[in-house]
Structure 1
Amino acid sequence: MEIIYKDDYFFAINKPSGFFVHPPELSPYPVPPEKICLYVLRDLLKQDVFPVHRLDAPTSGLVLFTMDKPATRELSRLFMERKISKSYLAVARGHLQTEGQIDIPLEIAGFDDLQESLTRYRTIKHIELPFAVGKKYATSRYTMVEVNPVTGRWHQIRRHFDRIAHPLIGDIEHGDTYHNRFFRDELQIPGLCLKAQSLSFIHPWTNQDIKIEAPACEKWTKLEKLFSASGV
């Protein structure tokens, strides 16, 4: 677990895939403390820390933490008021248009009520591979996208791309089993292809422009090589 930014008020970590931000409430199996960011960071820094927001366990990338509750409330307010810009990288099945937005209300976890949900995206690159992964087509198509969720609903990016028939690769809950298996077994790129890449906002205490970016990692280096070699 890597701390990539730290000041007197908050810090940012690069969360690995497979780690929970805090103890999961509804997990069907026990999660060891060494897989929970909150516990790992408390041991590392020898003090209480507080997560400002969360990422799904399969998602890698940036998460903000604070060292006290007043700072947590202030940064949480910025998230609530949509003053923190979030950018993700993702790989989706199929070819998406150059840019677009997904404006589909989503159910609240555990309830039938719908909430306004908006996700914007921009295509980075397309690829078409000469493999019949599914049953319909002789080739397989994928898109690497930059994703900007405007709202922050449960599994929003993953559910939104599934709703427009472009599920994210490696998503075992909302994705396509055939393409997930192809990336895992044939391309040796396992897991969810979704990364919280950057956070941008005005520092609420110093008034400075802050932009924090996640460092390169093995999975996304492989994905970038795949799209560079075969992309259009």
Structure 2
Amino acid sequence: MHISETHIVDKLEKPIRFQEYSVGIFNTIPTKSGIKKAIKKGLIFIDGSLATTSKYISGGEKIELFESENSSTFERLELDIKVLFEDETLAIVYKPAGILVSGNKFVTIANGLAQNLKKSTLADAVKPQPIHRLDYPTSGLLLVGKTSTAITALGKLFKEKKVQKTYFTVTIGKMNSEGTIKLPIDEKESETDFQVLQSVISERFEYLNLVKLSPKAGKKTPT
């Protein structure tokens, strides 16, 4: 066997079981079930001793993941994600257009978060998870939870529609300076306020407009 990854534990507010702390510390094993399998195979050591799920972690420990010739690991995603804000509970990252937030594809924002964010030292720390989504062609800010408490609380805010999303888009043709769009999307009622921030003359399209959109009800436009 040879060492695949090494993790040094930062100082924690209070001790936490290794089973809870270990999720997300290794790029090649992002899940709790994967950690358990690696422990059973004798591939994880803490300060030179074989790891157990019940061992308490307090800070300063050296955790090593070994890889045997027969062990299967997850492919690591090298994805440079721009982090605009981060603390112990959440992060705000920039999602560029042309990439999925999550899903069955390997290259997603969700799969790249662990390599771009610091693991929370709080007791309920989990693998960073996007709280909402932005469609494939849409760029914008993405809210990410780093603890189970934050993920639950933020998810509730979105479910109760207490988070206001604002979008900016470019439209073609002449349009009113402001108004409300009331058109069904996917057979669901939708209502979005718009405001034209700037218009320029276009030889091809007559006008190009920079428009601010504020979804009010129903399916958001765009997402």
- Per the TM superposition, whether the score is higher than 0.5 is yes
Query: Where does residue 117 of structure 2 map in the other structure?
Result: 45
Asked whether the equivalents of residues 174 and 206 of structure 2 are also in contact (C-alpha less than 8 Å), the reply is no
Say whether 1:36 aligns with 2:122.
no
User: Number of matched residues?
Assistant: 136
- The one-letter code of the counterpart of 2:90 is F
* Mapped partners of 2:112, 2:154: distance in 1: 22
Say whether 1:94 aligns with 2:160.
no
Query: Where does residue 141 of structure 2 map in the other structure?
Result: 62
Asked whether the equivalents of residues 11 and 64 of structure 1 are also in contact (C-alpha less than 8 Å), the reply is yes
Structure with more of its chain in strand, by fraction: 2
Query: Where does residue 100 of structure 2 map in the other structure?
Result: 20
Q: Which has the higher contact order (CA 8 A, sep 6+)?
A: 1
- The residue correspondences of 1:100-111 to structure 2 (distance < 5 A) are 100-107=179-186
**TM, length-normalised to structure 2:** 0.55
Asked whether the equivalents of residues 82 and 150 of structure 1 are also in contact (C-alpha less than 8 Å), the reply is no
* Mapped partners of 2:143, 2:150: distance in 1: 11
- Unaligned 5+ runs, structure 2: 1-80, 120-126
- The residue correspondences of 1:168-207 to structure 2 (distance < 5 A) are none
- Unaligned 5+ runs, structure 1: 25-30, 108-113, 132-138, 159-195, 197-232
**TM, length-normalised to structure 1:** 0.53
Runs of 4+ with deviation above 6 angstroms: none
Superposed CA deviations along residues 8-45 of structure 1, whole A, max 9, x for unmatched, are 22111011111111125xxxxxx4x3x31011112333
- The one-letter code of the counterpart of 1:19 is I
Question: What percentage of residue pairs aligned between the two structures are identical?
Answer: 29
- The one-letter code of the counterpart of 1:41 is L
Say whether 1:85 aligns with 2:164.
yes
Asked whether the equivalents of residues 189 and 218 of structure 2 are also in contact (C-alpha less than 8 Å), the reply is no
Query: Where does residue 146 of structure 1 map in the other structure?
Result: 212
Asked whether the equivalents of residues 50 and 69 of structure 1 are also in contact (C-alpha less than 8 Å), the reply is no
How far does residue 46 in structure 1 lie from its aligned partner after superposition?
A: 6.4
- The one-letter code of the counterpart of 1:100 is G
Query: Where does residue 221 of structure 2 map in the other structure?
Result: 157
Asked whether the equivalents of residues 38 and 50 of structure 1 are also in contact (C-alpha less than 8 Å), the reply is yes
How far does residue 50 in structure 1 lie from its aligned partner after superposition?
A: 1.0
Larger Rg: 2
Give SS of 1:115's match: coil
* Mapped partners of 1:56, 1:117: distance in 2: 17
* Mapped partners of 1:73, 1:152: distance in 2: 22
